[in-house]
Amino acid sequence: MIYLKTDEEIELMRESNLLVARTLAEVGKIVKPGVTTLELDKVAEEFIRSNDAIPSFLGYGGFPNSICTSVNDQVVHGIPSDKELKEGDIVSVDCGVLKNGFHGDSCYTFCVGEVSSEIMSLLKTTKESLYKGIEAAKVGGRLGDIGYAVQSYCEAKGYSVVREFVGHGIGHDMHEDPMVPNYGRRGNGVLLKDGMVIAIEPMINLGKKDVYLQPDGWTAVTADHKYAAHYEHTVAIRKGKTDILSSFEYVEQVLGNKAI
Ligand code: MG
Ligand code: MG
């Protein structure tokens, strides 16, 4: 069942998503060699709670922390740990909050110090593909248009698209219908309607598309151990315009010329 949102509900969802955006900026302030992902988690949780919201991920299906931190070959759902980040690493920080009864959800992949140009290209392409997907998310279009836009853009540059994890509808529940794959065929799938709110989140691999789950039951890792990137926005599909409810503006203000 797809729940269409009213204008009032979309404004509440914007509040949740802007809090996610500001949380990612707080995390971005301390991403550097020597910091642990548990320290990033602590900053995120405290910031979310100090803004009268609840971390959506904490306890979700038993997830132990407030953010997912996926380092290097970890694709998604990495569990924060006491291992220090080091120069040249990348870390995707996926964050969700529940505020006023609605969830926000967004993810940004950060560089730790200087990363190689090969990895920087992967990050740039993945982030650009997110905006290609958003451009395709128009009233009257189809879900497959979004996946096609992401997939064709990334594959043309030699990268591969993860199949096992996808974007999703979002609202009172963090994961609602429909599923939003990052691959697909144009003109295929669910009709996009005014009032749909979806999280679009390309997970793109430098090498092959295959991933496997680590024994912790959460962390997805690339099978070839090449790096993976992940960017996510929550988007409202409205007549006239596609409205990005989350934002990278805050995080990129913090990063300055180190923004992806
Ligand atoms: Mg997310
Ligand atoms: Mg999501």
Q: What is the pLDDT of residue 19?
A: 98
Q: Using one digit for the tens of pLDDT, what is the confidence trace for 188-230?
A: 999 999 999 999 999 999 999 999 999 999 999 999 999 999 9
Calpha distance 249→157 (Å, rounded): 26
Strand order of the sheet with strand 74-76?
A: 74-76, 220-222, 211-213
Band (pLDDT 50/70/90 cuts) for residue 145 is very high
Q: What is the pLDDT of residue 103?
A: 98
Q: What is the pLDDT of residue 240?
A: 82
Distance 85 CA to ligand 2 centre (A): 24
Distance 106 CA to ligand 2 centre (A): 7
Q: What is the pLDDT of residue 102?
A: 98
Which ligand is closest in space to the CA of residue 23?
A: 1
Q: What is the mean predicted confidence (pLDDT) over 65-74?
A: 98
Instruction: Quickly tell me which residue has 């990895």 as its tokens.
Output: 119
Calpha distance 92→90 (Å, rounded): 7
Phi, psi of 201 (to 5 degrees): -150, 80
Prediction pTM value: 0.98
What residues does each domain of the chain span?
7-258
Calpha distance 166→148 (Å, rounded): 13
Calpha distance 141→189 (Å, rounded): 9
Which CATH number is associated with domain 7-258? 3.90.230.10
Tell me if 224 sits within 8 A of 236, measured CB to CB. Answer: no
Band (pLDDT 50/70/90 cuts) for residue 5 is very high
Distance from the Cα of residue 97 to its chain's centroid: 13
Distance 257 CA to ligand 1 centre (A): 25
Which ligand is closest in space to the CA of residue 109?
A: 1
Q: Using one digit for the tens of pLDDT, what is the confidence trace for 147-196?
A: 999 999 999 999 999 999 999 999 999 999 999 999 999 999 999 999 99
Q: What is the mean predicted confidence (pLDDT) over 41-54?
A: 98
Band (pLDDT 50/70/90 cuts) for residue 239 is confident
Which ligand is closest in space to the CA of residue 94?
A: 1
Distance 208 CA to ligand 1 centre (A): 22
Tell me if 97 sits within 8 A of 57, measured CB to CB. Answer: no
- Type of residue numbered 134: I
Which ligand is closest in space to the CA of residue 57?
A: 1
Virtual torsion, Cα 161, 165, 168, 174, nearest 10 deg? -140
Q: What is the pLDDT of residue 38?
A: 98
Tell me if 256 sits within 8 A of 30, measured CB to CB. Answer: no
Which ligand is closest in space to the CA of residue 168?
A: 2
Q: Using one digit for the tens of pLDDT, what is the confidence trace for 32-43?
A: 999 999 999 999
Q: What is the pLDDT of residue 55?
A: 98
